[in-house]
Amino acid sequence: MKIAEDQPSGLSALDRPNSYIGRSVPRPNLARLTQGRGQYVSDVVLPRMTHAAFLRSPHAHAHIKAIDTAAAKKAPGVVAVVAGAELAKVITPWVGVLTHLKGIKSAPQHAIAVDRACWQGEAVCAVVAKSRALAEDACALIEVAYEVLPAVTDPETALDKATPVIHPALGDNLTFERALTAGDPDKAFAESDAIAEATFMFGRHTGVTNEPRAIVADWNPGEERLTVYQGTQAPHMMQNLFAKHLELEEHQVRVITKDVGGSFGIKVHTYADEMATVALAKLLSRPVKFVADRFESFVSDIHARDHRVKGKIGVKKDGTITAFEIDDLTGIGPYSVYPRTSGIEANQVVNLVGGPYACPNYRARARVVFQNKNVMCQYRAVGHPIATAVTEGLVELAAAKIGMDPAGLRRRNLIADNAYPATAASGIKFEGLSHHASLDKILKMMDYQALRGEQAKARERGVHRGIGLASFVEVTNPSAAFYGVGGAKISAQDGATLRLDATGAVFVHSGVTEQGQGAESVLAQCVASSFGVNIERVRVITGDTDNTPYGGGTWASRAAGIGGEAAWQAGKALRGNVLAAAGAMLQADPKTLDIRAGIVVDADSGRERLPLEEIARVIYFRPDTLPPGFQAEFVVTRHYVPRAWPFAFTNGVQASYLEVDIRTGAVKLLRHWCVEDCGTVINPQLVDEQIRGGIVQGIGGALYEHCRYDENGQMLNANLMDYLVPMAGEMPDIDIGHVVTPTADSELGAKGAGEAGTCGAPACIMNALNDALRPLGAAPLVEMPFTPERVLRALGKV
Amino acid sequence: MTARSLDINIRVNGEDASARVEARKTLVDFLRDDLSLTGTHIGCEHGVCGACTVRLDGAVVRGCLVLAVQCDCSTVETIEGISDSGAIADLQLAFRERNALQCGYCTPGMLIGAQELLARGGVPSRDAIREHLSGNYCRCTGYQAIVDAIESVAQARAAI
């Protein structure tokens, strides 16, 4: 077993004595999770708790003429049967738009459909009963009279005049459109020696969190407070939204997030059925629990990635890339998802295509259209897998066209490592990246030349292997530029409140949340290092809007870079306050003192003066012995928000080595590599595991995962038998390396690491596949997922 | 419409329980709802994801594919009991040291599956470990850390 070395890595300049920065410290949560002692929302049971089940529309688009609930109301154990109009008296509808996405529009969405269902799976009626099984029994007794309406399912024709408009008040089916031109793409294409074009298709897929979405809402009329246990990535955002739409004050709402069984962006949105659950609790004045089952997860958890991108690249004979051009079309379901909108993924595609390369000529158009399918919104690495696959797919097509090695073509065009700060053609700004160092490193790790030799030898034996690369940029540590400037009440800032307890241990209350990525461990490392205690003496509390600083939560790879910096700064502040107390007790200048491993020492010599326990004892229990006028402050709060850059871009490169069975079309993944630059690495093991997990999630999208719909808007494979996810047997071992370019925006210098794996994996799988099949005369594979059938079609065998 | 219920006697984690359960209730729902053994998780309820893995009369089964009434006069072991017994302490430690879990939702099932493989003795190949776990879905780790942890325990147990 390769257990990561737990030693200071020397990666960081933050070398305080007993620093935990750069060390693979095991996470404190893991022991109880391995013992079955987790507390997921699915596990929460409250007194008088009831269970909600939803009757969902079997039609993609239908007018609801009548709902007969009489029989359901009489069913055993039923507490209430509530349809959309009745619930709308308790909870107001919402519209998922943001002002910085100019022109984006959507229609009011209700917690339960009123008059009309707009996708197969939209809830049309709720049953609350004493058990989930009884609630489902009663659902089966509800009679709904539907008038089936035409379903808009194909984005290609969504804007045609002949296509019905899903929301007539909006005028058309266009949600959002963005066009961008930089430099002179027409001239650049005209001056190119070769042009490569392809139409890339991305299969709609979804997060499949192992624990489905889960919520328990408890309205207590005695104290006029709503307590919501929710598996969410953004508790304060949800607090705001529950209050707003139930017409409560924010302080009347408490959101508690315990263990979360996977999130990946799935659990950062407003779901109609979860809003309905909260409204039902308010209506009934007793706790209501809703846990999505797997079948309803598939038709109600957000989907993502359903994009069609026409791409074009120009290149000179010497390998210089002259221009990129894309046209992106994506269907996002009948509503833009609230509050982050469903325009962000296409917007990111426009921002990110061509991002790694020094190419000033770029034309892009993205159109986002409504359709009668389940909603799409932000999912791990939002837009990046698409932009990276388009960019890197085009780069390798261009390399093949001019007969240049794809690694060499990249080396010729990647932005030079000494050229920062730099601005991409799309306008996104890079503080400092390391594309060339990363490429050099991965080629060395994979022994690129030797691997090419091995590939050639295998081909002589009739074994067809491919090598694919993908360079990428990844947005992390977002400032208010992501959502706040558009009017969403989603905090860009995060905070940490530290409290020294009476035995010298430290409590950390943070606004970021833990869904398994290790945020709590990283926060503990930051505080233990900057304050000066052993990490066992640090206890982290997250996921409770009553008891943590107001913050954004965990998404867009922000927990470590933003929450970690706040914790780091809070640790320094608490150290200052404790040293002030120690100075008063020791009659010493606090500047001459430090805290190391829980003991106040002379900073110069390291001579031990007082343990924290003794200082805490005096401050809490014998303050009468302190000098007159001295007041210790052993609770401090510090906040952090990136200000110098709108985002901390990271970069990296991935490589895939795979084998294609040309008789069956099956793809076997042999090896996978990633070199990633997320700035300061706080915990190498956690960073590597984020990357590995992310890569496998990206491989899922490339090879297996696809929410398949028919032309009537019926999802055909809404179960785990027919929707394929990556399992252990098919996944490769993944080697990971790092280049470290810290951000100067924070003292820690950490950027995000949670999404880079997902960002680059589909692109390099695609490139490796095409590298394997190109000598066989196969048509380029550009439609994900790359199923055996599609591989055989590319080979002309079916 | 009244669901038919039956009386069962069942030994779970060494403790005897008698209960009247609906005939349609799955074992995993019975463990979680009636016995508060929430360490056994529900992921798909159709036998694919492995989150509800438990031992029934010594055999590893999916708790969502077995009815509670089928377990009358049977012995069930869940992660809580297996953990308390100390039998997988080395596996749990290896998972922790290798960060072989992130959200932890699949972990009880993974550990029970891994213990089944390791109980056969010897040091299975990495491919064999992957194959054995191919019915346990993990969305977080990408599986490599899990394979590493199990492999290290196999090696350590073989060395004793």
* Residue A9 pLDDT exceeds 70: no
Residue indicated by tokens 């900073």: A603
Which of A207, A227, A330 is CA-nearest to residue A268? Answer: A207
Residues of B in contact with A698 (CB under 8 A): none
* Residue A504 pLDDT exceeds 90: yes
* pLDDT for the residue B111: 98
Report CB contact under 8 Å: A695, B39. Answer: no
* pLDDT for the residue A14: 66
pLDDT tens string A545-561: 999 999 999 999 999 99
The verdict on domain A30-38+493-640 having CATH code 3.20.20.60 is no
Residue indicated by tokens 């007159």: A628
Mean of the per-residue pLDDT values of chain A: 96
Q: How many residues are there in chain B?
A: 160
Mind giving me the DSSP string for A196-239? EEEEEE---EE---SSPPEEEEEEETTTTEEEEEE--S-HHHHH
* Residue A788 pLDDT exceeds 80: yes
* pLDDT for the residue A12: 45
Query: What distance in Å separates the CA atoms of residue B158 and residue B154, rounded to the nearest whole number?
Result: 6
What CATH number does the domain located at A382-480+644-794 have? 3.30.365.10
In order of start, what are the domains of chain B with their CATH numbers?
Answer: 5-82 (3.10.20.30), 86-159 (1.10.150.120)
* pLDDT for the residue A647: 95
* Residue A3 pLDDT exceeds 80: no
Query: What distance in Å separates the CA atoms of residue A184 and residue A69, rounded to the nearest whole number?
Result: 63
Return the ∠ at Cα A355 (arms to A354 and A361), rounded to 5°. 50
Residue indicated by tokens 């009668």: A372
Report yes or no: A114 and A315 within 8 Å, Cβ to Cβ.
no
Return the ∠ at Cα A407 (arms to A405 and A408), rounded to 5°. 65
Instruction: Tell me which of A40, A210, A525 to substitute to probe the interface with B (most B C-beta atoms closer than 10 Å).
Output: A210
Token pair recorded at residue A511: 């606004």
- Nearest residue of B to residue A298, measured between CA atoms: B44
* Residue A2 pLDDT exceeds 50: no
Instruction: Tell me which of A6, A24, A32, A33 to substitute to probe the interface with B (most B C-beta atoms closer than 10 Å).
Output: A33
Residues of B in contact with A515 (CB under 8 A): 102-103
Residues of A in contact with B55 (CB under 8 A): none
Report yes or no: A519 and A551 within 8 Å, Cβ to Cβ.
no
3-state SS assignment for residue A733: coil
Report CB contact under 8 Å: A36, B140. Answer: no
Residues of A in contact with B106 (CB under 8 A): 210
* pLDDT for the residue A18: 80
The residues with which A602 forms a beta bridge, in sequence order, are: A593
In angstroms, what CA-CA distances link B21 with A47, B3, B33, B44, B80?
A: 21, 10, 11, 22, 22
* Residue B1 pLDDT exceeds 60: no
Which of A559, A520, A496 is CA-nearest to residue A752? Answer: A559
The neighbour count for residue A447, using CB atoms within 10 Å, is 11
pLDDT tens string B97-139: 999 999 999 999 999 999 999 999 999 999 999 999 999 999 9
* Residue B10 pLDDT exceeds 90: yes
Report CB contact under 8 Å: B148, A2. Answer: yes
Q: Does B152 touch chain A (CB under 8 A)?
A: yes
Query: What distance in Å separates the CA atoms of residue A127 and residue A69, rounded to the nearest whole number?
Result: 10
Residue indicated by tokens 């059938």: A789
Give the closest-approach CA distance of A32 to chain B in angstroms.
Answer: 9
* pLDDT for the residue A364: 98
Query: What distance in Å separates the CA atoms of residue A130 and residue A140, rounded to the nearest whole number?
Result: 16
Q: Does B61 touch chain A (CB under 8 A)?
A: no
* Domain ranges in chain A with CATH number 3.30.365.10: 30-38+493-640, 382-480+644-794
Residues of B in contact with A39 (CB under 8 A): 38
Residues of A in contact with B32 (CB under 8 A): 43
Q: Spell out the CATH class of A41-149+212-260+266-300.
A: alpha beta
Using CB atoms within 10 Å of the CB of residue A251, give its burial: 0 to 12 exposed, 13 to 18 middle, 19+ buried. Answer: exposed
Ranking A21-30, A394-403, B38-47 by mean pLDDT, the lowest is A21-30
Q: At what angle do helices A612-621 and A564-586 cross, to 10 degrees?
A: 70
Residue indicated by tokens 């696959």: A389
pLDDT tens string A713-766: 999 999 999 999 999 999 999 999 999 999 999 999 999 999 999 999 999 999
Mean pLDDT of A466-485: 95
Report yes or no: A369 and A327 within 8 Å, Cβ to Cβ.
no
In this prediction, residue B2 has a pLDDT band, given cuts at 50, 70 and 90, of low
pLDDT tens string A52-72: 999 999 999 999 999 999 999
Residues of B in contact with A31 (CB under 8 A): 92, 96
* pLDDT for the residue A4: 45
Per cent of chain A over pLDDT 90 is: 97
Give the closest-approach CA distance of B44 to chain A in angstroms.
Answer: 5
* Residue A321 pLDDT exceeds 70: yes
Q: Does B46 touch chain A (CB under 8 A)?
A: yes
In this prediction, residue A95 has a pLDDT band, given cuts at 50, 70 and 90, of very high
In this prediction, residue A11 has a pLDDT band, given cuts at 50, 70 and 90, of very low
Residues 6+ away with beta carbon under 8 Å from A441? A675, A737, A739
* Domain ranges in chain A with CATH number 3.90.1170.50: 41-149+212-260+266-300
* pLDDT for the residue A16: 79
Query: What distance in Å separates the CA atoms of residue A553 and residue A560, rounded to the nearest whole number?
Result: 11
Residues of B in contact with A33 (CB under 8 A): 101, 104, 107
Report yes or no: A590 and A509 within 8 Å, Cβ to Cβ.
no
The pTM (predicted TM-score) of the whole model is 0.97
For B:83-142, CB contacts with A below 8 A are 83, 92, 94-99, 101-108, 111, 126, 129-131, 133-142
- Nearest residue of B to residue A758, measured between CA atoms: B142
Mean pLDDT of A194-222: 98
* Residue B3 pLDDT exceeds 70: no
* Residue A13 pLDDT exceeds 70: no
Report CB contact under 8 Å: A259, B133. Answer: no
Report yes or no: B105 and A211 within 8 Å, Cβ to Cβ.
yes
Mean pLDDT of A20-32: 93
